[in-house]
């Protein structure tokens, strides 16, 4: 189903109707509608081709899993509420100092 969702998103970004994409692809509007609705499952190559016809490129990337947010959240949950409040106050104070420094630098 994700292939159909990608094609629909690509078509919309390109400002194309289903009929216009179908004409570019040499197929029918109903075939594009079936694909986008998930009634048919396109091959990866077909998704790539349809996206190229929309003027887009599909880039698939495998990236290392980053669980740093989860680790930080679990660490904060181990703190009592006053420690969490102190940490948030320190973060807000830093943000205010940064804002003032930017204002001063910009005149």
- Is this prediction's pTM over 0.85? no
- Helix, strand, coil shares, percent, the chain, to 5: 70, 0, 30
Is residue 50 within 8 A of residue 57, CB to CB? The reply is no
Q: What is the pLDDT along the chain (107 residues), one digit of tens a residue?
A: 799 999 999 999 999 999 999 999 999 999 999 999 999 999 999 999 999 999 999 999 998 888 888 888 888 889 998 998 999 899 999 999 999 999 999 97
Question: DSSP readout, 26-40?
Answer: TS-HHHHHHHHHTSS
């Amino acid at each position: 189903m994700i292939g159909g969702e990608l094609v629909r998103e690509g078509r919309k970004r390109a400002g194309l109707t289903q009929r216009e994409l179908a004409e570019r692809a040499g197929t029918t509007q109903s075939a594009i509608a079936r694909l986008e609705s998930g009634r048919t499952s396109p091959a990866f190559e077909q998704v790539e081709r349809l996206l190229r016809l929309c003027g887009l490129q599909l880039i698939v990337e495998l990236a290392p899993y980053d669980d740093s947010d989860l680790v930080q959240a679990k660490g904060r949950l181990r703190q009592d509420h006053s420690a969490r409040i102190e940490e948030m106050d320190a973060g807000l104070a830093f943000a205010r100092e940064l804002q003032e420094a930017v204002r001063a630098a910009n005149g």
